[in-house]
Structure 1
Amino acid sequence: MNLALWIAAGLLAVVALSGGISKAFVPKEKLAAVHGGGWTADASVGFVKTLGVLELLAAAGLILPATLGIAPVLVPVTAVCWILLMAGAMITHGRRGESAFVVLNLVYLAVAAFIAWGRFVLEPFTG
């Protein structure tokens, strides 16, 4: 189970890293032109950049605390925060009629729920 939780955290960290980089560093106009990025046209630049920074922090929070042995409880806490972020993403894409992205966000949410449950209940980090 420990290995499965590490793999899930690693995969979700890659997703968060790629999303965070694009939102934090790609101009909003370019994001709006990409499939699935239309929502950015209705959002401020600051909001999009803030989401990007949050996703970058999530990528770090899913891996670094346990890897460094510094406050590893932050791994499942980060996973819970990711669940909240994905709920918001699902609402946003749902309002826009983008059901494929709602399903994708639901998958990411499920992976985060698995990490949170696994690290809070099944195999918490010790010491």
Structure 2
Amino acid sequence: MTLDTWLWIVTVLLATVLLISTSKMVVPRERIAAAGHAGEWVMDFSPASLRAIGGLEILAAAGLILPAVLHIAPVLVPITATCVALLFACAAVMRLRRGERATIAADLVYLALALFVAWGRSGPAPLA
């Protein structure tokens, strides 16, 4: 497979993860926290903050996919990927502060994937 194909696969995966995680916008915090240790972090944020985070995740998913598909300002894809990497870096820091070292692995993987997309789309395989 080519680098472009891998970048598309990772981009769609990241966009999917971001869209799935927006459930915090509609599912009550208490229900998410009751689901297990990995969801207890939501109680540290107000419902308005969770909606704001979810809104940013929707924008990030759109920014990863739409500019490339619509061929409108494709330079936004690596910029968005960099912002997604920052989002997951902040998530990792939040988990470290909460002492949730066991659940930080997924955030670090998504951080690495976002950096891969940012690198790939800004350098070796830019979108035309």
TM-score tier by shorter-chain length is over 0.9
2:99 — aligned with what?
97
Question: Deviation string for 1:28-48 (max 9, x for gaps)?
Answer: 221222221111111111111
Taking the aligned partners of 2:24 and 2:55, their CA distance within structure 1 comes to 8
Taking the aligned partners of 1:109 and 1:64, their CA distance within structure 2 comes to 20
Taking the aligned partners of 1:103 and 1:73, their CA distance within structure 2 comes to 29
Note if 1:65 corresponds to 2:64: no
2:26 — aligned with what?
25
Out of 81, 84, 105, the residue aligned to residue 82 of structure 1 is: 84
Unaligned runs of 5+ in 2: none
Question: Deviation string for 1:9-52 (max 9, x for gaps)?
Answer: 001111001002x1211112212222211111111111111111
Question: Deviation string for 1:63-97 (max 9, x for gaps)?
Answer: 11100111111111111011111111001111122
Taking the aligned partners of 1:2 and 1:105, their CA distance within structure 2 comes to 24
Out of 4, 7, 17, the residue aligned to residue 6 of structure 2 is: 4
What is the RMSD of the two structures over their aligned residues, measured on CA atoms? 1.0
Taking the aligned partners of 2:42 and 2:57, their CA distance within structure 1 comes to 15
1:119 — aligned with what?
121
2:44 — aligned with what?
42
Taking the aligned partners of 1:117 and 1:62, their CA distance within structure 2 comes to 13
Using structure 1 for the length normalisation, give the TM-score: 0.93
Amino-acid identity (%):
51
Taking the aligned partners of 2:123 and 2:102, their CA distance within structure 1 comes to 31
